[in-house]
Structure 1
């Protein structure tokens, strides 16, 4: 067998008992014959707690110092998991992102991976070690510690899988794969067995949190099969993302039915302002930006904004209007190019008094009050998914 990369999210390693359970699982995988690399997130809500402490000390901490602080969470997880593997009688070694050769841009708190030089990882695999890696982090060419933004551990795992020529990359969390909507919000959401990279990219960009957008893009570029699975349901197949993904949505499309998925953000930043507002948004990843002749509008996910109040101040000073609003998106093949389907979404959304509508080739997004997100998501899912 070849190399397999597995990633375990924060909920999977949130306490000592769960770390022991994950160790048992990865030892079983190693014993099945794979050379194994395991990427871990910080335990539970560790990152949020560290961020809260930072802001209690300084309301606007520097992004560099935040990266130094927040990168510690994953290092705690990797060391503890390595110890747990040792307790099973197997050889393991924990490595930071920089030790794995993950080279990033120098954009603190939202860096992008530019290169992976996994020589140390390869050396340790040749020694028979299970390599346990701190996700979410790397180092810039200036030798600064950087972090990759929310969901960055997914990106770490896929980037390593691509650099190592791994057979596959498995992303484990407390969710059993990818669903047609968030099952915590939409009660009749359906699990999707298989998706194309393109579908998963749009879903991730629009708010589906099972897989990180950058991770899916890496998988697509490298042709790596990406599995989303539940840590706690080993018998479940989860969801596979690959070039020829074929799922329930495709079956429905064959029968002449609209087939799509619904993604959402409960609370984001809706921005409308003059054209120079774009200059203020350059360091942030927007869900979408619409450029008009005399103004721009954009929607940002708050989870990736560590300097939220500072950004608000800069936007206010520029004359931009900023509101805290929700977003519900329907993702389906070519839906944005179908006037009849866009009109149907508009009609279904009318009762919720939408602030704005944004469309792309395969997405229609509705900006609404935060209190309307759940009901609108269910309404649109019933019709389009």
Structure 2
């Protein structure tokens, strides 16, 4: 049985019309033979409204009772969506976090998932039903209702995907993926087609709001591949996984190229670029770039990085290195960093590889 886990954010569930549209899409996937587990957030700004309501009643710090209150928002969403799906002739059942086996610590309002026991979810999937799960919540070993903090529905979806060995996990929101910057503030921001966990964590910790950093860290720890997509869109979104690979970065313009491309395939003006492989490659590059490059090299502060064109393919890395053979180059090694500078036609580039990423014919630096 191929299981797909989906998660829908509050902005995608803000109105009955939006909720019905999502139900239609789910019904179509079921008719195509997929087994679906759907995690939902509270509708629209329901959580904010509940917080405001609590503030009108008390100024105290009642964390347990706040968890009891705030967890109701997702329960409303799960019940309504389950009914909407059933009206389309598809069997569905809704579960709270505790009912679907999400076990957390006892830290109210900011709990962490300890384990997932999705026995009831598996039973219902075996019966051919769609399982709708209230995100953002679980139950402690003391059988207390807990919440996972803002953005906790993402973590719920990823945790269920791991426990169910799902074929895929799809995180839906009102944006078409992860961008290199906030597209509402930076007009030149680019959608990132593929990203590693570490790259996404870096973006999240510097203000990107598409995904919560705790959710990304959970995905990384459990090696869960997922996509961030826009609700109702056919666009592929941003794929997140272990693919760190090669990336190109330019200071003159944000143009990207793949590992095996030829110089004549690159459209000018691509004047300077930084390429790194693997999560460690970025850290090595940023920490050691000054010492590993000549004094007349482009100042590091003029470089920027963008998240596209990622590969995690040893053959592609080797092909990229072979492409530069026979041209003026030098190698240096500093603290495990290998750097190679090339000038080929109108292209200048620096390739930065973590030591353990040198592969094939490129495993030995030229003399």
Deviations 1:287-339 (A, max 9, x none): xxxxxxxxxxxxxxxxxxxxxxxxxxxxxxxxxxxxxxxxxxxxx92265257
For residues 107 and 70 of structure 1, what CA distance do their matches in structure 2 show?
Answer: 15
Match of 1:81 in 2: 81
Alignment of 1:247-286 (within 5 A): 251=256, 256-258=272-274
Match of 2:176 in 1: 176
> 1:215 offset after TM fit, Å?
2.0
Deviations 1:86-109 (A, max 9, x none): 110000000000001100011111
> 1:58 offset after TM fit, Å?
1.1
TM-score by length of 2: 0.70
Within the alignment, does 1:39 sit opposite 2:39 as a pair?
yes
CA 1:259–1:147 in structure 2 vs 1: closer, same or farther (change >3 Å)? farther
For residues 246 and 9 of structure 2, what CA distance do their matches in structure 1 show?
Answer: 25
> 1:253 offset after TM fit, Å?
9.6
SS of 1:333's equivalent in the other structure is helix
Within the alignment, does 1:13 sit opposite 2:13 as a pair?
yes
Match of 2:349 in 1: none
CA 1:56–1:65 in structure 2 vs 1: closer, same or farther (change >3 Å)? same
The answer to whether the 8 Å contact 1:192/1:248 transfers is no
Match of 2:316 in 1: none
Match of 1:228 in 2: 228
For residues 156 and 182 of structure 1, what CA distance do their matches in structure 2 show?
Answer: 25
Match of 2:239 in 1: 240
The answer to whether the 8 Å contact 1:37/1:133 transfers is yes
For residues 249 and 43 of structure 1, what CA distance do their matches in structure 2 show?
Answer: 40
For residues 171 and 248 of structure 2, what CA distance do their matches in structure 1 show?
Answer: 22
The answer to whether the 8 Å contact 2:246/2:275 transfers is no
For residues 210 and 129 of structure 2, what CA distance do their matches in structure 1 show?
Answer: 29
The answer to whether the 8 Å contact 1:55/1:61 transfers is no
Match of 1:152 in 2: 152
SS of 2:185's equivalent in the other structure is coil
Match of 2:266 in 1: none
Match of 2:301 in 1: 344
Within the alignment, does 1:193 sit opposite 2:193 as a pair?
yes
> 1:238 offset after TM fit, Å?
0.5
Computed over aligned residues only, the root mean square deviation of the Cα atoms, in angstroms, reads 2.3
> 1:248 offset after TM fit, Å?
6.3
For residues 144 and 259 of structure 1, what CA distance do their matches in structure 2 show?
Answer: 49
**Quick check: which has more Rg, 1 or 2?**
2
Match of 1:284 in 2: none
Deviations 1:261-301 (A, max 9, x none): xxxxxxxxxxxxxxxxxxxxxxxxxxxxxxxxxxxxxxxxx
> 1:257 offset after TM fit, Å?
2.3
> 1:222 offset after TM fit, Å?
2.5
CA 1:117–1:253 in structure 2 vs 1: closer, same or farther (change >3 Å)? same
> 1:53 offset after TM fit, Å?
0.9
For residues 5 and 83 of structure 1, what CA distance do their matches in structure 2 show?
Answer: 19
For residues 275 and 170 of structure 2, what CA distance do their matches in structure 1 show?
Answer: 26
Within the alignment, does 1:3 sit opposite 2:19 as a pair?
no
For residues 247 and 79 of structure 2, what CA distance do their matches in structure 1 show?
Answer: 41
The answer to whether the 8 Å contact 2:38/2:132 transfers is yes
Unaligned runs of 5+ in 1: 261-331, 346-385
Match of 1:103 in 2: 103
CA 1:180–1:135 in structure 2 vs 1: closer, same or farther (change >3 Å)? same
For residues 62 and 110 of structure 2, what CA distance do their matches in structure 1 show?
Answer: 13
For residues 248 and 217 of structure 2, what CA distance do their matches in structure 1 show?
Answer: 21
Unaligned runs of 5+ in 2: 250-255, 260-269, 291-297, 303-367
SS of 2:273's equivalent in the other structure is coil
Within the alignment, does 1:60 sit opposite 2:17 as a pair?
no
The answer to whether the 8 Å contact 2:195/2:239 transfers is yes
Count of aligned pairs between the two proteins: 273
